[in-house]
Amino acid sequence: MTVLLDSRAIQEILPHRYPFLLVDKIIELEPRTRIVGIKQVTINEYFFQGHFPDAPVMPGVLQIEALAQVGAILALREFADRDSKIPFFSGIEQARFRRPVVPGDTLTLEVTAIRIGTKVQKMRGEAKVDGQITAEAEIMSVIAERK
């Protein structure tokens, strides 16, 4: 598996930081078209303390957030002044959760652009473990100026 962007390179693009940075590396990238990221899910994730202590499951909303972060990388790469930009969720449509994600899973996050503009983005994301879809959604975001 070729790593195109490691965690340091990702942090040069995204404003997210621990404990809310939910993508570890980017392994595929077609500018303005498609991107694939990886999240290694470990028992050390903060959310497993309460979701659920006796049966740890990654919350579906965090899978969607991980897809949004991967999509934000695809979009923000297009801005020369990306240090002055911040992506905000503006909508989630057709979200579905298909199977649990548990400690030890490798979550593959594939996002395809539907629309990438200077302000509004719309993308389709699928999260998978071992080729099986765990979550999917259409994600909309707005790229705003950081203040």
Residues noted as catalytic: 51
Helix, strand, coil proportions of the chain in percent (round to 5)? 20, 40, 35
Contact criterion met (CB below 8 Å) for 67 and 135: yes
Contact criterion met (CB below 8 Å) for 110 and 65: no
Contact criterion met (CB below 8 Å) for 14 and 72: yes
